[in-house]
Chains A and B, each alone.
Chain A
Amino acid sequence: AQSVTQLDSQVPVFEEAPVELRCNYSSSVSVYLFWYVQYPNQGLQLLLKYLSGSTLVESINGFEAEFNKSQTSFHLRKPSVHISDTAEYFCAVLGQGAQKLVFGQGTRLTINP
């Protein structure tokens, strides 16, 4: 079985500041890793994913995440946030051979002007 821990339930930052949302997972098998974003009054959208290959993956809106197998982490970063990044961010893990995506509890990112 897999599990995901998002260490921060809320992260307030100022506009144009850098941000890191932390995600750690546990699994006895190899994993696929995902970050989803939920904007206010919407469903979740896939932001980026790690399936294989390069451990650094990027989204189209400037976010990136790095798969660190030794630290079992998949932290999400952005060097400069915008007001429009205000949302809840969910880290998720899928074990190879598993059929169920396991979500973390979410981190609410609030951007202050």
Chain B
Amino acid sequence: ETGVTQTPRHLVMGMTNKKSLKCEQHLGHNAMYWYKQSAKKPLELMFVYNFKEQTENNSVPSRFSPECPNSSHLFLHLHTLQPEDSALYLCASSQTQVGGRAGELFFGEGSRLTVL
């Protein structure tokens, strides 16, 4: 139990569906992150929110839309995805986005997404 909870753990969707991934952290952290983990590729940072403000969008296609209503919750809205978007999507949080503490990330278990 890392204090970061992701739902759903598994999701299968068609290319025309709209779905959302949810992340909740119970650690009192101020920064939250979405990462994409694909087989045989390095971990890819997608989005960063610090105190609810987006501070990083790593050239992510617009079919991925993040939302951070407060410091404890982070969503990733998915629309008209492609099969190559199939991957493990990991949410993480850190106490702050500055200094060494920014490297101390707490990850959820991930949402395994399959796009048909």
Contacts and interface: CB of A to CB of B under 8 A. Distances in A.
Nearest to A34: B103
B100 A44 contact: no
18 contacts: A32-B103, A43-B2, A43-B4, A43-B90, A43-B108, A43-B109, A44-B43, A44-B90, A44-B92, A45-B2, A45-B107, A49-B100, A92-B103, A94-B102, A99-B48, A99-B55, A101-B45, A101-B103
A41 interface: yes
Given A41-B109, A44-B90, A99-B56, A94 B103 contact: yes
- Interface size bracket, B side: 20 to 34
A54 interface: no
A32 B55 CA distance: 20
B110 interface: yes
Interface of A: 32, 34, 36, 41-46, 49, 51-52, 90, 92, 94, 99-101, 103-106
A38 to B, nearest CB: 8
Contacts of B103: 32, 34, 49, 92, 94, 101
Contacts of A90: 43
A92 B92 CA distance: 15
Interface in B9-65: 41-43, 45, 48, 55-56
A43 B110 contact: yes
B90 A99 contact: no
Interface in B84-115: 90, 92, 97-98, 100, 102-110
A32 B108 contact: no
B59 to A, nearest CB: 13
A5 B48 CA distance: 23
Contacts of B41: 105
Nearest to B109: A43
Contact of B42 (A49, A99, A104): A104
A51 B103 CA distance: 9
A43 B43 CA distance: 12
